[in-house]
């Protein structure tokens, strides 16, 4: 079986490196802008600092008919445009969505009504050092689960991914888990991007108050969505602190996006919270959403 990775960003390349390290065959589905300057080797710096060069077969949209299993690491705001190109994708090919944030899957389900569609969440840390050179900055957990009926038969994808990625488990409540990850991202990502800090710096006393307020707002929205399956506010805060501690030296993905002049997943993280807040006020989340929007607009100009 050959895995195809769509989205050659930091996480997509790190997950490719880990699969190649395990001897899996991997094709990298590249966009048009890469056609002229694809580097045949990916330089993967593993968690211990060891460097390895991997060759991954580059393919383009016209090769979509050969794709056996598609792992989509594209940023949330590019997923639909990237998938729309894949008109030749066989309807039996499973599509696994691994972006941060929520609000995209509904469109993918409509676009590919016959394909098995899965969602995944992953907490690995990844950093792009330069083009085709990535560093694995933190080991993490990965969960996959079905978003439609056809995807329920794809649990067999988990063991080979677990062998390569260290941890990968099946979840029949992947939407719940996506919401829980989104809640963490809705606190850490905009704050670290706005203040230009590492995740760990959020533990400084100057952020105590804003962390308390933002975590309460985000927890309020997510727990209303989850009903009796929701965690309590103190459970959420404990989980949040654990993630901050475990990723203390990392720059969040939103920080990396803004610092490197790219769009961010703001609309799919804070935007998702605002969209589901309804009449409940979420002033800190709103303010951070607008601040990130402003920075994205500066980038676009």
Site residues, ligand KPL (CB under 6 A): 100, 123, 184-185, 188-189, 199, 243, 247, 250, 252-253
DSSP secondary structure string, 75-115?
A: -HHHHHHHHHT-TT--TTS-EEE--SSSSSHHHHHHHSTTS
Phi-psi region of 52 (alpha: psi -120 to 50; beta: other; left: phi over 0): beta
Give the nearest distance from C-beta 22 to ligand KPL in angstroms. Answer: 23
Q: Where are the alpha helices (DSSP H) in 141-280?
A: 158-165, 174-195, 208-226, 233-246, 253-259, 270-277
CB closer to ligand KPL out of 154 and 272: 272
CB closer to ligand KPL out of 94 and 140: 140
CB closer to ligand KPL out of 86 and 119: 119
Give the nearest distance from C-beta 189 to ligand KPL in angstroms. Answer: 6
CB closer to ligand KPL out of 62 and 235: 235
26 in Cβ contact with 2 (< 8 Å): yes
Give the nearest distance from C-beta 195 to ligand KPL in angstroms. Answer: 14
CB closer to ligand KPL out of 93 and 252: 252
Structure tokens at 125: 């840390």
Give the nearest distance from C-beta 161 to ligand KPL in angstroms. Answer: 18
Can you tell me the distance from the alpha carbon of 168 to that of 157, in angstroms, rounded to the nearest whole number?
10
Give the nearest distance from C-beta 144 to ligand KPL in angstroms. Answer: 16
């Amino acid at each position: 079986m050959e895995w195809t990775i769509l989205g050659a960003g930091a996480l997509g390349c790190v997950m490719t490196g880990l699969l190649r390290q395990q001897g899996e065959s991997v094709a990298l589905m590249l966009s048009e802008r890469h056609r002229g300057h694809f580097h045949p080797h990916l330089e993967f710096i593993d968690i211990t600092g060891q460097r390895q060069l991997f060759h991954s077969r580059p393919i383009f949209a016209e090769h979509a008919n050969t794709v056996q299993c598609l792992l989509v690491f594209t940023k949330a705001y590019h997923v639909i445009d990237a998938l729309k190109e894949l008109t030749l994708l066989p309807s039996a090919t499973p599509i696994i969505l691994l972006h941060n944030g929520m609000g995209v899957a509904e469109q993918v389900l409509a676009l590919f009504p016959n394909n098995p569609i899965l969602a995944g969440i992953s907490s690995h840390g990844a950093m792009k050092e330069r083009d085709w050179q990535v560093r694995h900055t933190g080991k993490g957990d990965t969960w996959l689960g079905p978003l439609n009926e056809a995807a329920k038969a794809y649990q067999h994808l988990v063991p080979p991914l677990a062998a390569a990625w260290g941890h990968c488990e099946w979840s029949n409540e992947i939407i719940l888990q996506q919401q829980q990850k989104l809640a963490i991202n809705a606190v850490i990502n905009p704050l670290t991007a706005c203040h230009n800090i590492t995740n760990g710096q959020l533990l400084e006393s100057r952020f105590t108050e804003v962390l308390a307020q933002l975590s309460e707002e985000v927890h309020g929205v997510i727990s209303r969505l989850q009903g009796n399956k929701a965690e309590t506010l103190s459970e959420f805060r404990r989980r949040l602190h654990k993630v901050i501690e475990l990723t203390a030296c990392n720059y969040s993905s939103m920080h990396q996006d803004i610092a490197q002049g790219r769009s961010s997943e703001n609309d799919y993280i804070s935007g998702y919270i605002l969209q589901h807040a309804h009449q409940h006020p979420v002033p800190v989340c709103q303010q951070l959403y607008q601040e990130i929007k402003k920075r994205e607009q500066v980038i676009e100009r």
